[in-house]
Amino acid sequence: MTRPQAIPTVQISNERVIVTEWRFPPGAETGWHTHGHDYVVVPMTGGELLLETPEGNRTAPLTPGQSYTRNEGVEHNVINPTDHEVVFVEIEIR
């Protein structure tokens, strides 16, 4: 199954942080990747994400403005399974 790609827009990239806005049209995905930095996610829209991980699939609800953090080394594919656009800002700590 071919999915559309999520759309990243890097807003800031300096010696301390990388700030990226991620836009996920319905059905879009990031593709499999491993995070090279600790990071914070700030949801801009509500919704739900499907996370494909080596341990199996799980869902992650998003609440606008309710941030969460993950550590370096997370490996997953992030998918928008909803019928509306999902947007979040990811802040990676170098």
How far apart are alpha carbons 62 and 79 in whole angstroms?
Answer: 13
What letter represents residue 86's amino acid?
V
pLDDT (0 to 100) of residue 83: 96
pTM (two decimals): 0.94
Order of all β-strands in the sheet with 56-62: 33-34, 75-79, 47-53, 56-62
Would 34 be classed as within a structural domain?
yes
Mean predicted confidence (pLDDT) in 61-84: 97
Give me the domain span that covers residue 66.
7-93
Would 37 be classed as within a structural domain?
yes
pLDDT (0 to 100) of residue 48: 94
pLDDT digits 0-9 by tens, 4-27: 999 999 999 999 999 999 999 999
pLDDT digits 0-9 by tens, 21-69: 999 999 999 999 999 999 999 999 999 999 999 999 999 999 999 999 9
How far apart are alpha carbons 66 and 83 in whole angstroms?
Answer: 21
Would 2 be classed as within a structural domain?
no
Q: What CATH code is carried by the domain that includes residue 68?
A: 2.60.120.10
